[in-house]
Structure formats: structure tokens, C-alpha cells
Amino acid sequence: MLEAVAVSLRRGAFRLEVSRFEAALGEMVAVAGRNGSGKSTFLLALAGILYPEAGEIRLAGGPCLPPKVAYLPARAEDVVLGARRVLEVALTLGLQGRAEEDPEAVLREIERLLDLPREDLDDAAEPTYRALCGLLATGALCLVLDEPTARIAPRAQAVLRRAVGRLRAAGRIVILASHDPELVRLADRIYRAEAGVLKSDSLEALVGSHVLRRPDFWSEFGGAEVADVLREIWTS
């Protein structure tokens, strides 16, 4: 279980108050809100990068810090270490003092878990896939993802939504900030950041108040994974 209790965060002149936030093993939790509402500030605190002025953030009864938690920023290319997935994994293992492990074997396991497509260096989403491989190589219990589907094509968005679901099914905690209603609708819990406060909310309320656009009509026919395919058929 990850818990944030009576947390007060400051980032520059901005302050965010969190009375209570929870995420259990095998859950996906979405944090939504308008730009500048504090989503990324809260994720940085969950990742152990920003320290609360007050309150406590705990993961599995202890501090919420790496390697128990791993963080993916909105620009995945800013944090990737290697030029290939296997190098990303090898460098991660080396930094953790696990250089004796076979990076190719570790990568194969991660690719199976996430159900990633074959590596394609021309794919604009490849830095995100590569960064995820590095994060999973740490053995993190909790993955914190900032806008993971924001800067990639629809087909890659479907891959990421599927990967998030598989991480949850594998017992990981997945916490993400997103404007993507197709991703937020998969969450077990939803929180909204607004007016300096983080509180529990629902997809319906977020759509109704225009924080999120309406979920994709096409997804109703086959899930987010095939929504882009149906849309292309209809519009071609």
C-alpha cells in the first residue's frame, strides 16, 4: 500500500495540500486536473524527488523512495540512458550493482510482461518503451508515470494502456497523471488536483466539468486498444 497522509507540498510559489491519498498493490490510480493544478508536483513527491513540508508518504510501510518507486517524466527522452532497450536495462542493472545479471534475459521478461512491440528506433514512442524497460529493471514496486500517452501516436497510446493494465495485473502499483480519458477510465481510483487541493473524484465528474474530454466513442466497440483502428476505417 502507498499512502500520503496530511501532506503539504510547495514548489516555488505553488502549494498543494493532500489530506489522504491511497493506492494498493495491483491498483492503477489516476491523478487528473488542468495544467498547473499540481499533478506533476504530487508525482514528484511520490517519486521521492520533492519532499513534503508536512505529512508523510509511505510505501509498503517505509519511505517512498527508489528503488521501491520508479518515475517516468512526461518527456521520456530526458531520462533514457541507453540507445537500445538492452543497453537501457544493462545500464540500470549496473547502477544497481547487479551487473552480473543477463540484461537480455531481464529485457525479454519485461517485454513479455508489458507486451511491447518489437524494437523500432524510428518509432516516436520508442523512448517511452525504452524508459519503461529501464524502470522495470529496477524491480520497482510502484511506477509513477507523468502523462505517458501525451506525446505519442494513437497506436502507441493503445500499447501503453495495455502495458499499464498488465502491470496492474502483475501486482504493481501504477500511479499516473493524465489528460487522456481512455487511460483515466481504466483507473481503480481517481483523484483531482484543483485549487491547491488533491481529492478523490470520478471520471464522470471530470468529464462533466471539462477537465477531461469525453472518452472516445470508438472505444465502446472494442476497448482502447482497437479504437484507433476503428476510427481509421470509418474516416478513410
**pLDDT (tens digit, 9 = 90+) per residue, 143-177?**
999 999 998 999 999 999 999 999 999 999 999 99
pLDDT in tens, 54-97: 999 999 999 999 999 999 999 999 899 888 999 999 999 999 99
CATH code for the domain in which residue 158 is found:
3.40.50.300
Looking at residue 190, what is its pLDDT? 97
Q: What pLDDT does 214 receive?
A: 77
Beta-carbon-side half-sphere exposure of residue 103 (alpha carbons within 13 Å): 19
Whole-model pTM: value is 0.87
pLDDT of residue 236: 41
- The domain of 111 spans 2-235
Cell 495544467 locates to 35
pLDDT score of 222 more than 50? no
Instruction: Kindly tell me if the per-residue pLDDT of 224 is higher than 80.
Output: no
Q: How many domains does the chain have?
A: 1
Distance CA 211, CA 220 (A): 21
Residue 3: which pLDDT band, with cuts at 50, 70 and 90?
very high
* Average pLDDT of the chain to the nearest whole number: 90
pLDDT at 32 over 70: yes
Give the E-state strand segments of 159-210 in sequence order. 173-177, 189-194, 197-201
Rounded CA gap, 32 and 153, in Å?
21
Q: What percent of the chain has pLDDT over 90?
A: 82
Instruction: Please name the residues in contact with 103: beta carbons below 8 A apart, sequence gap of 6 or more.
Output: 86, 87, 89, 90, 93, 137
Mean pLDDT of 122-133: 94
